[in-house]
Amino acid sequence: MVNTLRRELTGRQREILRAVEEFVLEHGFFPTVRQLGEKVGISNPSAVFKHLRSLKKKGYLSKSGGKAVLAGFPSYQESRTRVPLVGLVPAGPPREVFDLSDEMVEVPDWMVGRRQGSVFCIRVEGKSMVDAYIDDGDRVLVERTDTARSGEFIVALLDDGSVTLKRLKLEKGKIFLVPENPDLRPITVSELRILGRVIGVLRKY
């Protein structure tokens, strides 16, 4: 069935809608206004918000649980999947903690996206990532991968066998694991093994 409202979209609106769809499929969650602006080359957040509001009026976006969602995508609330919970990973000084368990965690399908089978969940301990909205006790979804780009949040296995959650920074041939807490300093490492990159955060209030 063809949605007749598509004929009302401007070229810019089609571009933004396509960018939103690509972002949701890749990351499993809706982009922020800033992220969307960067993706389509619009520096003014108000202009991006105006386009999003137009897409909502035309039936392409809606709200679910107070958050924007793509109309026509699978229901975020009804469709869920189970991912394994893997131990306790510190977001502070590295520790030798990465325990396996038989526990599973239910998460909305949209948070996993196309990564089904390659996502696990960790429970964070520590305050080193609070400025990235990853706090002590949060559960973080991680995509299994052995590579990451500079700027991404990763779970890293250091050469001494310890595990930590930090932002990866590659600069002038050096490797830094950067905390998102102004009271803590970056960790400089010569070698590390990337266990995965963060794709989402689960929190109960």
Residues serving a catalytic function are 128, 166
The contacts of residue 90 (CB under 8 Å, 6+ apart) are 97, 124, 125, 126, 163, 164, 165
Phi, psi of 116 (to 5 degrees): -50, 130
Longest dimension (CA), the chain: 60
- Round to whole Å and give the CA distance between 135 and 125: 8
Among 146, 98, 104, residue whose Cα is nearest residue 124: 98
Phi-psi region of 117 (alpha: psi -120 to 50; beta: other; left: phi over 0): left
Amino acid identity at 124 = V
Relative orientation angle of helices 33-40 and 45-57, to the nearest 10 degrees? 100
